[in-house]
A = this chain, B = another copy of it.
Amino acid sequence: MANLYHFPFCANSRFVRLVLAEMGLEPTLVEERSWDRRDEFLLINPAGTTPVLLEQSGTVIPGAAIIAEYLDETRGLGLSGRRLLPEDPTGRVEVRRLMDWFLVKFEGEVTGYLVAEKIAKRFMSSSQGGGPPDMNAIRAARTNVRYHLKYIGYLIARRRWLAGDDLSYADLAAAAHLSCVDYLGDVPWEEDEMARNWYARVKSRPSFRTLLADRVAGMPPAAHYADLDF
């Protein structure tokens, strides 16, 4: 149906892969390493970031949250009961608040650091910023992830899914980010049983399967990464 320019460990790209799979859509995946700043890629997204969805019509939709809004507007109505953004304005605010929490805040405080330091730097040349990981950045991320996990636990103690009664973009955004951190073994699951059970629920969905098959060459995932009963 469309091309998705992504990087397998770009958590915001993973979010879009989950959304497309939940909607029953199968994009052609095109791996893009944003640090290469490829001219053809910059032409379709001047911001130079993944993910970008390219429709067969030629319409370019850049950015995870913008893709989510676009897919809801163009395919959401066909999903009826399985729509990932609620219909009422107040419900939409809560889903968008939490989607932003994970796609932007969690990315900036946790995933961005870990993926850059542990994964992306392996693939970058030294002029692109490659080299050994900065342990201070990794330590900061490992500290930050703890309060986010607690926040998920807090929400899920009060609601069936993160933003309310139904699975929504909020759950997929949070789980996409946690899946990257979990691959690296940096989620302290033992600190929050509620958060862990919620993650096991999301991870068991068929939409999650392809994410669990991703591997970084020479860097196997944490032992429980693809285990649905971790």
A90-136 contacts to B, CB under 8 A, are 90, 92-93, 96-97, 100-101, 104-105
Given A104-B104, A105-B47, A151-B46, check contact A62 B92 (CB 8 Å): no
Q: Is the CB of B73 within 8 A of A92?
A: yes
Q: Mark A141-157, 1 if CB is under 8 A from B, else 0.
A: 00000000001000000
A63 interface residue (CB < 8 Å to B): yes
Closest chain B CB from A59 CB (angstroms):
5
Q: In terms of DSSP, what is the predominant structure of the interface of chain A?
A: helix
Determine the residue in chain B with the shortest Cβ distance to A96: B66
Determine the distance from Cα of A69 to Cα of B73 in the docked complex, in whole angstroms: 13
Determine the distance from Cα of A114 to Cα of B100 in the docked complex, in whole angstroms: 24
| 8 Å CB contact of A100 from B63, B93, B97, B151 | B63
Determine the distance from Cα of A93 to Cα of B69 in the docked complex, in whole angstroms: 9
Q: Which bucket holds chain A's interface residue count? A: 20 to 34
| 8 Å CB contact of A93 from B66, B92, B97, B151 | B66
Given A47-B105, A104-B104, A151-B46, check contact A89 B66 (CB 8 Å): no
Determine the distance from Cα of A100 to Cα of B70 in the docked complex, in whole angstroms: 14
Number of copies: 2
Q: Is the CB of A59 within 8 A of B90?
A: yes
A65 interface residue (CB < 8 Å to B): yes
A90 partner residues in chain B, CB cutoff 8 A: 59
A61 partner residues in chain B, CB cutoff 8 A: 93
Sample of 12 A–B contacts (CB below 8 Å): A47-B97, A47-B101, A59-B90, A59-B93, A60-B93, A63-B97, A63-B100, A66-B93, A66-B97, A69-B96, A73-B89, A73-B92
Interface contacts beyond A66-B96, A66-B100, A74-B89: sample of 10 additional A-B pairs, CB < 8 Å, sorted by A: A47-B97, A47-B101, A59-B93, A60-B93, A63-B97, A63-B100, A65-B96, A66-B93, A69-B69, A104-B104
